[in-house]
A and B are shown apart, each in its own frame.
Chain A
Amino acid sequence: MRICLALVAGSLAAAVSVASPAFAQKQGGTLRISHRDNPPSASIHEEATISVVQPFMAVFNNLVVFDPKEKINSPDKIVPDLAESWSWSPDQTKLTFKLRSGVKWHDGKPFSAKDVKCTWDSLIGKADEKSDLIRKNPRKVWYSNLKEVTAGSDTEVTFTLGRPQPSFLSMLAAGYSPVYACHANGRDMRSKPIGTGPFKVVDFKRNEAIKLVRNPDYWKKGRPYLDAIDWKIVPNRSTRMLGFIAGEFDMTFDSDITFPMLADVKAQKADAVCEARPSNVNTNLLVNRDAPPFDSPELRRALALSLDRKTFNDILFQGHALTGASMLPPPAGVWGMSKEMLESMPGFSPDRDKNLAEARAIMAKLGYTKDKPLNIKVSTRNIAIYRDPAVILIDQLKQIYIEGELEPIDTTVWYTKVQSKKYSIGLNLTGLGVDDPDTNFYENFYSTSDRNYTGYKNPEVDKLIEQQSAETDRGKRQKLVWEVEKRLIEDGARPVINQNVANTCWDPKVKGLVLQHNSIYNGWRFEDIWLDK
């Protein structure tokens, strides 16, 4: 409810700022933002973290983009970027873009359809052997249906799909889908990339700073407003927060301010503008279904019933997190189940006592009691945002006679450990780059996916995933999506604890910022932001 209010308030604020006359916008100034950690590289296509997207999206353009003025990314709110227009072939398998002409890369070379072809050829492994534009691709599943990219002319490019896939355009509209320059090389893209976007990279000093300056030749007239953006990498969160309070930074890193911290920020910087929004990152459980004890479906059911989502939410988010399955629930999410639908699902019933009683009965039947508990290890990445919920989980498991011991895993070996099934329960965070069922289901639950860490296999679910992906009728697709969600919950595939919500704060002089409410990875072009000094 509070989120709804925040949304309404936020939309109102956006409406006001959009409606304000154009002459009010001031040119110039440097925006100073704190960054939470060292981005692994500057190459958006090679990485899967907000640490890269937020600072570097402003260097690039996409073919199309989610309307930056809208708070909710949805398939019908996609606007042109480097493409002026697009069209689908009658059989819905060929997507042709008409490209803008006269656009130049930051090094002065002209942009053409060849660059688009190069970028996506690299992503689907069709690039020239010698090309090293992209050396790893964490989003292979996004393009598993992309067969071919052809450049019709300098200003026309066609994407050929294996079968109709309405989500394809949404993926191209994400912050994760910039167009790279064909003549660039991978090493430069990772350290000092060039793009066609509103800002140029001046310097990317590891562990220290990222400096972007205005691209004077930007193809969009009158943009950007800012002269420069200075990112300062400050790994210590308290130092970062103190820096914002002390006015060293105009803006915090995306979702950097948790609810327990918000009071502190507000108390010390009364004029700070803070907006809460779902990050489309959910906290979930990985359950090893192939080894005892959790190969028992009954035990998995008891586990699902033992989750006290409200307590997680109260502690970590002061009650502001959303309850949902794997797709973000409305109103911020486009595809998730409503509250009423959710509450009919196992483990989501608000009647906590009934859930606990049922879970305890199962445990008793399996021979576990208070004096003879089940001992397990709860594995998680050794980072606070992973560890904190794991600590709460262990505390809750005690109520159903499970004694958990936390096993913090070094980040470097976390995925390897999970994939080799050397765990019983893992506490995990899953983020979605686009609020889209294809990206989520194919990535995390399709039986042959790289990132289906738990090795979840259900041929029926695989079939449903395929069906919803190819369905062009929005209403029918929505029903299929809910069906998949329901199956995943019933199977306890990856029980979702909370859909996370966090705050981003800025100084009131920062204007024109519209945060996207169903993906933190979109909307960071910075071209419409200006400083009211």
Chain B
Amino acid sequence: MGAYLTRRFLLMVLTLFGMSVLIFVMLRLVPGNIADILVDAAGIADPKEKAKIIHELGLDRPIVEQYGQWIGGLARGDLGFAYVSERPALEEIAPRIPISAKLAGMALLLSVLIGVPFGVISAVRQNTALDYFLRVISLSGLSLPSFWLGLLVLMASVHWFGTIPIYSNEPRSFLQEVGLLSIPAAVVGFRSSALVMRLTRSSMLEVLRQDYIRTARSKGASQTSVNYDHALRNALLPVVTIIGIEAAFLVGGLIVTETVFNIPGVARFLVEAILWRDYPIVQNLVMLIAFVVVMVNFLVDMAYMALDPRIKYAD
């Protein structure tokens, strides 16, 4: 077990290291750099001025040296300076994290609250009209692009309430913030709940087919008790996995939803930073996202191990 943990941890570090190389190289393949943008934004194309900015930012140094500088800084907790704002990248990124985290947290909560119960019901009532209905709903949830759903919500909101839930002023209280974030969270969460429901349903079905359930049934346990006492408890285990899958799934939803609702979170910031070729921001944000995804997967594995002693990690 200890050996497994160590191995798993080392793999995680290796993955993150690989990601850092990948993103670093990929960004430098992108046509145009920050100097082009800064100079072009001013409507001029003076190679001398570009060269000056490139030199100032150290972009003319060997790529390996640039990489070393970034990773060295990262190890010391120094994320470098954002090109566009010329402020420490940490100062630019840090205040946006809680906003996205809250949004993601609310969406996740919502998706579990909706997805798990409906998934269970759908499995227990397999192949009934209710099951078909729930499956169609969840599939359509997965089929709606979340930016479209967001636009429809905005349209409807202006139409019926004359106001829109966009983040135009910093919320003054926690409640106000929850209020502001709830609609975008619902938009992201709706899609995610569809995913949770499907996964819950299939894991529940699998459990229902297991021998011990059949045994319990043959011993005369009532159908309801079998479904809810035995099956659900065992089916909840995979729900932990679902949360892991969700983490990656949510980030995608956050990017477009933060754009539609103008929420100053990290996901939208990433897209803007890419468009500005603001390498320090993009690199660090990508690493942050990769870290969250890898970490969640790691924690899910740990949780699995703790919850299910039958699983052996020999591999």
A32 to B168 alpha-carbon distance, docked (Å)? 10
Pairwise interchain contact B49-A135, C-beta atoms closer than 8 A: yes
* Known interface pairs A206-B92, A247-B163; A415-B31 also in contact (CB < 8 Å): no
Question: Do A410 and B41 touch across chains, with their CB atoms under 8 A apart?
Answer: no
Instruction: Annotate A402-414 by CB proximity to B: 1 below 8 A, 0 otherwise.
Output: 0000000011111
Say which one of A151-159, A233-241, A349-357 lies at the interface with B.
A233-241
Identify which of residues 108-151 in chain A touch chain B, using a CB-to-CB cut-off of 8 Å: 135-136, 138
Total contacting residues, chain A, CB less than 8 A: 44
Q: Are B277 and A412 in contact (CB under 8 A)?
A: yes
In angstroms, Cα B261 to Cα A453, docked, is 38
Q: Does B87 contact A (CB under 8 A)?
A: yes
Instruction: Produce 1/0 per residue, B261-301, CB < 8 A to A.
Output: 11010001100100011000000000000000000000000
Contacting chain B: which of A43-51, A164-172, A314-322? A43-51
Whether the pair A136, B38 counts as a contact (CB closer than 8 A) is yes
Tell me whether B168 and A248 are in contact (CB under 8 A).
Answer: yes
What 1/0 mask marks residues of chain A from 191 to 235 whose CB sits below 8 Å from any chain B CB?
100000000000001111000000000000000000000101011
B42 and A138 form a contact (CB under 8 A): yes
- B43 in contact (CB, < 8 A): yes
Asked whether any CB of chain A lies closer than 8 Å to the CB of B220, the reply is no
Q: Is B162 an interface residue (CB 8 A)?
A: yes
- Please tell me which one of the listed residues A47, A187, A207, A230 contacts residue B42 in the complex, with CB atoms under 8 A apart: A47
B214 is an interface residue with CB less than 8 A from chain A: no
A413 to B34, CA, bound (A): 11
Q: Is the CB of A451 within 8 A of B43?
A: yes
Q: Is A47 touching B164 in the complex (CB atoms < 8 A)? A: no
A419 in the interface (beta carbon within 8 A): yes
Interface flag for A38 (CB, 8 Å): yes
A41, B52: Cα distance in complex, Å? 17
Which residue of B has the minimal Cβ distance to A419?
B45
> Which residue in chain B gives the minimum CB-CB distance to A248?
B168
A135-B259 in contact (CB<8A): no
Report yes or no: A40 in contact with B44, Cβ–Cβ below 8 A. Answer: no
Tell whether, in the assembled complex, residue A136 and residue B53 are in contact, meaning their CB atoms are under 8 Å apart.
yes
Chain B positions within 8 Å of A416 at CB level: 32, 36, 40, 45
Is B151 among interface residues, defined by CB-CB distance under 8 A? Answer: yes
Contacts of A32 in B (CB 8 A): 168
Contact of B262 among A138, A234, A411, A419 (CB under 8 A): A234
- Interface residue B226 (Cβ < 8 Å from any Cβ of A): no
Check: B86 CB closer than 8 A to any chain A CB. yes
A268 within 8 A of B: yes
Complex contact A207–B38 (CB within 8 A) = no
In the complex, the answer to whether B269 meets A243 with C-beta atoms within 8 Å is: no
A268 touches B158 (CB 8 A): yes
| Residues of B contacting A247 in the complex (Cβ-Cβ under 8 angstroms) | 162-163
| CB closest chain-B residue, reference A46 | B42
Nearest A residue to B268 by beta-carbon distance? Answer: A207
Q: Are B86 and A245 in contact (CB under 8 A)?
A: no
CB <8 Å contact, B32 and A243: no
Contact present for B39 and A136 (CB under 8 Å): yes
CB-based contact A242/B86 at 8 Å = no
Tell me if A207 and B264 are in contact (CB < 8 A): yes
B166: which of A207, A248, A451 is its contact (CB, 8 Å)? A248
- Most interface-central of B53, B84, B151 (chain A CB within 10 A): B84
Contact of A242 among B32, B92, B154 (CB under 8 A): B154
**In the complex, A173→B39 CA distance in Å?**
24
Alpha-carbon distance between A135 and B164 when the two chains are bound, in angstroms: 41
Q: Write out the residue numbers on chain B whose beta carbons fall within 8 Å of the beta carbon of A249.
A: 168
Tell whether, in the assembled complex, residue B42 and residue A40 are in contact, meaning their CB atoms are under 8 Å apart: yes
| Contact between A410 and B32, CB atoms less than 8 A apart | yes
Residues of A contacting B86 with CB < 8 Å? Answer: 187, 190-191
Does B37 make an interface contact (CB < 8 A)?
yes
Contact A411 B163, beta carbon cutoff 8 Å: no
Q: Which of B130-189 contact A (CB under 8 A)?
A: 151, 154, 158, 162-164, 166, 168-169
CB-defined contacts of B169 to chain A, threshold 8 Å: 230, 232
The residues of A that contact B272 with a CB separation of less than 8 Å are 38, 207, 235
Q: Does A450 contact B (CB under 8 A)?
A: yes
Residue B12 is within 8 A (CB to CB) of chain A in the complex: no
The answer to whether A40 and B84 touch (CB under 8 A), given A48-B44, A138-B43, is yes
State in angstroms the CA–CA spacing of A230 and B168 once bound together.
10
- Asked whether any CB of chain A lies closer than 8 Å to the CB of B27, the reply is no
Q: Which residues of A contact B261 (CB under 8 A)?
A: 239
**What residues of chain A lie closer than 8 Å to B163, measured between beta carbons?**
246-248
List residues of chain A with CB within 8 A of the CB of B41: 40, 47-49
Q: Are B158 and A410 in contact (CB under 8 A)?
A: no
Chain A, residues 241-263, CB within 8 Å of chain B (1/0): the string is 01101111100000000000000
A residues in contact with B260, CB < 8 Å:
236, 239
Name the residue on A nearest B281 (C-beta). A206
| A47 neighbours in B (Cβ, 8 Å) | 41-42
19 A-B pairs besides A32-B168, A206-B84, A248-B168 with CB distance below 8 A are A40-B38, A48-B43, A135-B49, A135-B52, A135-B56, A136-B46, A136-B49, A206-B85, A232-B168, A234-B166, A235-B272, A236-B259, A242-B164, A249-B168, A268-B158, A410-B32, A413-B31, A451-B44, A451-B45
Chain A to chain B contacts (Cβ below 8 Å), 17 pairs: A32-B168, A40-B38, A41-B84, A46-B42, A47-B42, A136-B42, A187-B86, A206-B85, A236-B262, A239-B164, A246-B158, A246-B164, A410-B32, A412-B37, A412-B277, A450-B44, A451-B44
Residue numbers of A with Cβ under 8 A of B are 32, 38, 40-41, 46-49, 135-136, 138, 187, 190-191, 205-208, 230, 232, 234-236, 238-239, 242-243, 245-249, 268, 410-416, 419, 450-451, 453
The 6 closest A-B pairs by CB, nearest first: A412-B32, A138-B42, A48-B43, A415-B45, A40-B41, A246-B163
